[in-house]
Amino acid sequence: MPTQGVRVIEFQSVTKRYADGTVAVDSLDLTIDAGRITVLVGPSGCGKTTSLRMINRMVEATSGTILVNGEDIRAQRPATLRRGIGYVIQNAGLFPHRTVIDNIATVPVLLGTKKAAARRRAEELLDTVGLPRELGKRYPAQLSGGQQQRVGVARALAADPPVLLMDEPFSAVDPVVRDDLQEELLRLQSELGKTIVFVTHDIDEAIKLGDKVAVLRVGGELAQYDTPATLLAKPVDDFVASFVGRDRGYRALGFLSAHGAEVVPLSTIPLGSPVDEARAALTGGWGVVVDENQAPLGWVSTSSLSTVEGELRSADLVAGGSLYVADSPKSGSLRTALDAALSSPSGVGIAVDSGGAVTGGVTAESVLKALDEARRSGEVPS
């Protein structure tokens, strides 16, 4: 269930000017919706981190007003304000001399929760962020980078704050782990309904995570504030168009459901099948090899089997490219369907269900046909 007390955050003509005259944020007007993920994105020096840190008064605004639920944040002591705001940074910022459990329990204990109760809550939060409870006894140095970031999220959630500030939290991990963390954040948000302000320099991350995206220019000026779909379809000027990228048409496919893309039958062949049976089962010269749960392991083709005898082994398989999760609201987009088709050695992407079992195949032609239908129905912003 969404957390009660989610907050609307408003910037009213907010400026941050440093003593040397540098303007980090310039007359920022922005309303951050309650219970949604708002992403601040832009090049280095655009004031996105400064804007984020002004919300919890780690940086004080030079002029203008920031309201949280209609109340000026300057009416509260910084320590009081921060009790309702979780904060996640790059590299997690964990205390190296404390165990994972004690790291997570830090804020509740400081707020007066008994240590035993805080630790029980910390164990529950390990479940929430997808970590096994046995990691609770370890120290941060004994965790991977991705595990540390999950602990950082758990610590920020420990006091159940309605607002969560996240400053490039996933930028220090490798791309595979980063994608997993992004998916985990989206899952958590669907359950918790926090008001999240997320800073990144990566437009793909912004597009994937944001309900709305604020693009900032160098000098702290707001260039455009829109939904990701509108941002990609209608950038307001050359700066935004350039920052979003020339391949924004491909990115925009991520907002269109692939529900209309035809999924065609695929030949599935169990691993360990006799090679003669595998050859006979190929359709169009290709077949998908699956395990006992019908999950895809790779492809075989007339060519790849030409010198193989006996039973199919893992070493006989051709790598299969990306997968298209046909029944997932997030993964079941035209972008993932097209990527599956283009990355497949057979030219047919493998469609799977949420359990990972093969349900069929999707082609680039079927994706483009679905895109044309989406344009005709008005689903694509014009």
248 pLDDT band, cuts 50/70/90, is confident
Q: Are residues 143 and 163 in the same domain?
A: yes
Q: Are residues 73 and 166 in the same domain?
A: yes
**Given 254, 274, 294, which residue is the final one in a domain?**
254
Tell me, yes or no, whether 3 lies in a domain. no
Average pLDDT over residues 252-260: 79
**Given 254, 284, 314, which residue is the final one in a domain?**
254
CATH number at residue 335: 3.10.580.10
**Average model confidence (pLDDT) across the chain:** 89
Q: Are residues 185 and 43 in the same domain?
A: yes
Q: Are residues 231 and 266 in the same domain?
A: no
Q: Looking at the 3D structure of the chain, how many domains does it have?
A: 2
Please tell me the least confidently modeled range out of 94-108, 111-125, 253-267: 253-267
Q: What is the pLDDT of residue 382?
A: 52
246 or 141, which is more confident: 141
Q: Are residues 325 and 360 in the same domain?
A: yes
Q: Are residues 33 and 140 in the same domain?
A: yes
Q: Are residues 24 and 138 in the same domain?
A: yes
Separation of alpha carbons 269 and 302, rounded Å: 13
- Half-sphere CA count of 46, side-chain side, radius 13 A: 21
Tell me, yes or no, whether 382 lies in a domain. no
Q: Are residues 81 and 184 in the same domain?
A: yes
348 pLDDT band, cuts 50/70/90, is very high
Separation of alpha carbons 361 and 348, rounded Å: 6
Q: What pLDDT, in 10s, does the model give residues 257-278?
A: 787 788 988 889 999 999 999 9
112 pLDDT band, cuts 50/70/90, is confident
Separation of alpha carbons 48 and 220, rounded Å: 7
Query: What per-residue string of b and e applies to 2-18 under the rule 16 or more CB within 10 Å gives b?
Result: ebeebbbbbbeebbbee
Q: pTM for the full model?
A: 0.79
Q: What pLDDT, in 10s, does the model give residues 65-79?
A: 999 999 999 999 998
Q: Are residues 176 and 304 in the same domain?
A: no
CATH number at residue 224: 3.40.50.300
The residues, ordered by sequence, that sit 6+ positions from 247 with a Cβ below 8 Å of its Cβ are none
Share of the chain above pLDDT 70, in %: 96
Closest CA to 290 of 199, 338, 352, 373: 352
362 pLDDT band, cuts 50/70/90, is very high
Q: Are residues 221 and 270 in the same domain?
A: no
**Given 222, 254, 286, which residue is the final one in a domain?**
254
Tell me, yes or no, whether 1 lies in a domain. no
Tell me, yes or no, whether 244 lies in a domain. yes
Q: Are residues 147 and 126 in the same domain?
A: yes
Q: What is the pLDDT of residue 325?
A: 85
Q: Contact, 239 vs 46, CB < 8 A?
A: no
What's the domain range around 319? Answer: 259-376
Separation of alpha carbons 226 and 264, rounded Å: 36
At 164 the three-state DSSP class reads strand
Q: Are residues 368 and 305 in the same domain?
A: yes
Q: Is the pLDDT of residue 2 over 60?
A: no
